[in-house]
Amino acid sequence: MPERTVDIVIVGSVGIDTVETPYARRESILGGSASYACMAASYFAPTGMVGVVGADFPEAYRKLYADAGINLDGLRTVPGDTFRWEGKYEANMDNRSTLAIALNVFEDFKPELPAGYVNAPYIFLGNISPQLQMHVLDQVKSPEFVLADTMDLWIQTAPDDLKKLISRVDMLTLNESEARALTGGRYSLIRAGRDLLELGPKYVMIKKGEHGSLLITRDNLFVLPAFPLERVVDPTGAGDTFAGAFLGALARFGGISEKNLRRAMRCGAVVASIGIEAFSLDALRHLTLAEIEKRVSQFRAYTAID
């Protein structure tokens, strides 16, 4: 049996973004779901990245990963250009428009796990196609917890494969519009979550942006607000940051229980709130676990009653 080199495996996109908000514009900055999730998870537990980049991928970005302790055995470099995305946010910093997208080397991405990854106990399947997400699951050996994300594209184009994928994971995470779309327009998010549980996962976590998140199980419901901020700089990657920190914290807590899931969600909300206070990974790259724990304590105080 190959020796395990990481506790968390994160599979997703690695990209170079151009982001415009009502306040500023940044060109050719580091992005991609795997970038955000890996950086967030790495503060809590040894994390490995699975993704693909082109020959144009800046060495400075690779060094940023390495300096954070992210294992890059699963990051392939192939001839061609790295995935690129350009988006513009509206004044509410929630609605955004995709101005340009170029899949480039990501178009032919087929994730292959290094030997040191296959025994990792925690797996995050970023919102790549459900076929590729299942391809990853076919490679791992008895993980303790599998978290899968999805998006409206796969709900529209590959609903049957997506439902097969959902039946194989422990937790599905998605945003509120995706939860409604996947359940035939179910308006109540609680009812939508219950419907999604019928597809097989033990837990459904619905992300509501600035309004927080919901954890829905067969027996319980947990409602977590977002950490309040006076100013948001760049919300790109907030959901992936949340998911990465959530899974990292869950690994650090050392056991799958509803209490630990709730604690991990609080960590996810906190790290996501830090991430959106700057463009790209700028706020995350200099973060410390002590700073995370300080804001977690603030969050507890903000939501305490007694």
In the chain, domain spans:
8-303
User: Dmax of the chain from CA atoms?
Assistant: 59
Structure confidence at residue 254 (pLDDT)? 87
- Say what the pLDDT of residue 285 is: 92
Comparing C-alpha atoms, which of 154, 100, 96, 115 is closest to residue 4? 115
**Intra-chain end-to-end CA distance of the chain, in Å:** 51
Sheet of strand 83-89, all strands in order from the earlier edge strand to the far edge? 25-31, 15-20, 83-89, 96-102
pLDDT digit string, tens, across residues 79-99 = 999 999 999 999 888 889 999
Q: Which long-range contacts (CB under 8 A, 24 or more apart) does 297-301 make?
A: 298/227, 299/227, 299/266, 299/269, 299/270, 300/266
* pLDDT of the residue at 2: 66
Give the per-residue pLDDT at 1. 56
Torsion angle (degrees, nearest 10) of CA 240, 241, 243, 248: 140
Residues of the chain with pLDDT under 70: 1-2
pLDDT value of residue 64? 96
Q: Quote the pLDDT of residue 103.
A: 95
Residues 279 and 152: their CA atoms lie apart, in Å, by: 25
**What per-residue confidence (pLDDT) applies to 255?**
87
The secondary structure element, H or E, covering residue 266 is helix 258-275
Asked whether the beta carbons of 169 and 136 are under 8 A apart, the reply is no
If one counts every other C-beta atom within 10 angstroms of the C-beta of residue 243, the result is 30
Q: What confidence score (pLDDT) does residue 290 get?
A: 96
Beta strands in the chain (DSSP E): 8-11, 15-20, 25-31, 47-54, 71-78, 83-89, 96-102, 122-125, 145-149, 171-175, 203-207, 213-216, 221-224
> What are the structure tokens assigned to 130, written together?
């459900």
Query: How many C-beta atoms surround the C-beta of residue 103 within 10 A?
Result: 14
pLDDT value for 4: 83
**pLDDT tens profile 169-223:** 999 999 999 999 999 988 899 999 999 999 999 999 999 988 999 999 999 999 9
The percentage of the chain sitting over the pLDDT mark of 90, rounded to a whole number, equals: 91
What pLDDT does residue 299 have? 96
259 CB burial (10 A radius; 0-12, 13-18, 19+): exposed
Task: Indicate the SS3 state at residue 207.
Answer: strand
Q: How many CB atoms lie within 10 A of CB 290?
A: 7
Fold of 8-303: UDP-N-acetylmuramoyl-L-alanine:D-glutamate ligase (3.40.1190)
What is the pTM for the complete model shown? 0.95
